Amino acid sequence: MAGKVGFRVHAPWPRPDAATLAAFGKASSAQVADSMSRLGAMEMGIQPVWFSPRIIGPAITVWCHAGDNLMVHKAISVAVPGDVLVINTQGSSVSGFGELIATAAARVGLSAVIVDGTVRDTESFETLKLPVYARGVCPGGCHKDGPGEVGAIIACGGVAVRPGDIIIADRDGVAVVPLADAPEVARLSEIQMAQEEKRLAEIAKGVLVRPEIDEQLRRLKVIV
């Protein structure tokens, strides 16, 4: 790893294998977050730019200087197919991700791009079939001078993201699973999905409110 603090590329890093990703099945971002004691969900500001399909993949992290995307370009050069590009822009209001770099990302085979900041050229993302999540849209562009880091621990949407962590994103938003916790979270997500299917079947049979609701209200002395 060459460079100085704040201006480095950390590589390589561990990535989950195909079996680890497959273990999550069709679990949604909400079900995954519920399985982590309701932690790991990026806050509501991170929204899909277009209603893209659910994605799952390992994070490749980028920490950018505000108003600069030099290291986003570097990240594209070290990414592998299936990676999810996760970018911290340090609160910049100008866009560091648009059609040109999105085209390169799609060519690499990235699963998705998550930006804690703004993006532009949004019509191109759907044309490219590249899922993109961001705080908003802005036509203003940025510089390519640095500094920044690739493969560092970053904050995105109020959640810590490490390179190789598993990203699950859908219409509800984004959940982050620490790679070390992936097998356990996948197991719990499977249980969560089964519980929800059971509850939907109960509702279909007319059990609209679970008995536990009144039991909890009695414990809280709201009802007798």
Domain layout of the chain by residue ranges: 3-197
CA distance 115 to 45: 10
What pLDDT does residue 3 have? 84
Give CATH for domain 3-197.
Answer: 3.50.30.40
What pLDDT does residue 35 have? 98
What pLDDT does residue 79 have? 97
Contact 152, 9 (CB under 8 A): no
The tens-digit pLDDT sequence of the chain (224 residues) is 678 999 999 999 999 999 999 999 999 999 999 999 999 999 999 999 999 999 999 999 999 999 999 999 999 999 999 999 999 999 999 999 999 999 999 999 999 999 999 999 999 999 999 999 999 999 999 999 999 999 999 999 999 999 999 999 999 999 999 999 999 999 999 999 999 999 999 999 999 999 899 999 999 999 98
What pLDDT does residue 6 have? 95
What pLDDT does residue 224 have? 85
What pLDDT does residue 88 have? 98
Q: Give the 3-state DSSP-derived string for the chain, with helices as H, strands as E and coil as C.
A: CCEECCEEECCCCCCCCHHHHHCCCCCCHHHHHHHCCCCCECCCCCEECCCCCCEEEEEEEEEECCCECHHHHHHHHHCCCCCEEEEECCCCCCECCCHHHHHHHHHHCCCEEEEECEECCHHHHHHHCCCEEECEECCCCCECCCCEEECCCEEECCEEECCCCEEEEECCEEEEECHHHHHHHHHHHHHHHHHHHHHHHHHHCCCCCCHHHHHHHHHCCCCC
User: Hey, what long-range contacts does 23-27 have (CB within 8 A, 24 or more apart)?
Assistant: 23/182, 23/183, 23/186, 23/187, 23/190, 24/56, 24/166, 24/168, 24/185, 24/186, 24/189, 25/186, 25/189, 25/190, 25/193, 26/54, 26/193, 27/168, 27/186, 27/189, 27/190, 27/192, 27/193
